[in-house]
Amino acid sequence: MILVVAEKKSVAENLANVIGANQKVDNHYEGNDYIVSWCSGSLTKLAEPKFYDSKYRNWGCLPVIPNKWFIVPEDKKRNQLNYLIKLMNRTDITEIINACDAERQGEYIFRCVYCFARCNKPVKRLWISSLEDDSIINGFNNLKVSSEYDNLYKAAVCRAKADWLVGMNATRLFTTLYKEKLDSQTALRVGRVTSPTLSFIVERENEILNFKPETYYNTHIECGDFIAVCEGFKDENQAKLLENACKGSTAKVIDIKRTEKVKTPPMLYNLTDLQCDANRLFGYSAKETLNYLQKLYELKIFSYPRTDSRYITSDMANSLSQTIEMLSKLMSFVDEKEFKYNIHNVVNDKEVYGHYAIIPTKEIENKNKCISNEEEKLLELICLRILCAVSSPYTYCETKVILECNGKLFKFTNTKDISLGWKAIENEYMLSLKKQPCKLTKDLPKLEIGQVVNINNAYIKKIITTPPERFTEDTLLRAMENAGVVNKKVVDNQTLEDIDFVGLGTAATRADIIEKLVKYAFKKVENSSDNDVEIDDTFVKRIKDENSEITRLAPTEKAMSFIKLLPEELISPKLTVKWEDKLNQIENGKLSSAEFIASVDNIIYGLVKKFSSNKIDTELPF
């Protein structure tokens, strides 16, 4: 018998149906020489400090850096873990197939169970990006050797250890420092990625609180079909004088610049791009989007959701072309007769790592009628993106005109569509949502340099600058994705900036990071042990705008105070971004796990040494 281990029960059901394991027995399916079971997410975790030594029950005993690491069962999932262990060690099981999600965390989940079971049976890897029958069959016909993914597993282990080392040590360190100012059962929760993300939100809130509005005045002149503006008067009287001087006068055209511009089609969706657009258009949280997409993936309607890629590979071009032709008939916002596409817009073998972009499968034609309204919206949004991505560019002519009146320069810009291309499809979609499409452009009157035009009217507008807005999940996800390090280098006597955007977290983890900040801020501890019980507290609240359905992320007072307590090393994204880059290097075989963990250990030693002897005078408002 061959044991197949999936990450989720729903995926196990899909696999079992395809490979003929149709008999349900307790927590597995069997048939056709296969047994198919599942993990229900992570079944193990890294052991708590007290597991290594009873002295670590005292939170002041720092640093906690294990010489040898151990994994232990997740308390609430012991039954499924024990079930899998029995299956793995059955005498009739001769081979195991790791069918957990084809990404870093999926590799980690399976191997932790395999190691905990002390199993040494041969393992092969099922690596698929779709739950379509053909994809599953092809995957089973082309199983990989498990060792091909050893580096992926090493990177996952290093990430788990880094999170543990920072979380355990920093939480204990700062809770101990402030123990006289805290409730005896309250701990300050510090996270490797959550703390820098929270710092983004707090920093934005401080910018809003410290913002000082400025007032300035713009003078406008109406010249027939267009309006030109002279901007930036600090003194209202000066703007008023210009207004009066321009009324009934003329303006002279002194410069005209016409530029033809091209906006290339958008790329296919990766998870973060989709989460951003779903939040902006529908108000879905990042976690909600991922949950809806996971359901559609399990219904075989879309490809694997947790992907960073925005392209497909060249061998997929023909099958995707067939899907696109089907979508042009199914989607109401595209004119099938006028629609022409170029599949090569979305093909790039070098930009596909592990999984390709989120795309519909041929099963979309037979989509389940039980799909919710929220899932239907997400489905249409993904279909819109793929149809736009393979369409022609949007081209337009931008005209910038400068006029002079009474010694002052007035400017205006006009755009005129040349070819809507992919924008035509997007406009129809926006109209279907009853949202404003891109503005229709118009022709300018014929203007020439030196021409004098009559001013029909003049007026001033008072402008008051506004503070930056709080993050939405859309804008926070972008900030997390683009957190990077700028390296300056000199080439041919020119200073160039080489920006390597690695990001806080990954496409697969950012939704959970945000949810953690919204869910809790502190944790209760019992007698300074490790039996933590979450309490109803939070660092971040979701608040709806008064005049719209947009939800923004606002830090609580506890969050504002908490960030002040932490050193730069724990709230700056630089360290975490650097670590994410190193994890990628481990995954690609360019860095050893030992070297990475040693660098994390050194930082923990430094933090403890720097802060453990400090006397804390800061008052805590909580």
Residues carrying an active site annotation: 304
Nearest to 279 by CA among 559, 481, 478: 478
Q: Tokens in use for 385?
A: 């993106």
Q: Where are the alpha helices (DSSP H) in 369-452?
A: 373-389, 422-432
Nearest to 125 by CA among 144, 110, 107: 144
Element (H, E) at 453: strand 452-454
Taking the C-alpha atoms of residue 589 and residue 138, their distance in angstroms, rounded to an integer, is 27
SS3 102: coil
Nearest to 521 by CA among 189, 162, 169, 24: 189
Query: Is 501 exposed, middle or buried, given 0-12, 13-18 or 19+ CB atoms closer than 10 A?
Result: exposed
Residue with token string 């608040």: 543
Nearest to 499 by CA among 570, 581, 579: 581
Strand 540-544 to strand 95-99: parallel, antiparallel, or no bridges (unpaired)?
unpaired
Distances (CA, A) of 26 to 73, 84, 528: 21, 12, 40
SS3 232: strand
Distances (CA, A) of 459 to 228, 240, 241, 276, 465: 11, 8, 10, 39, 19
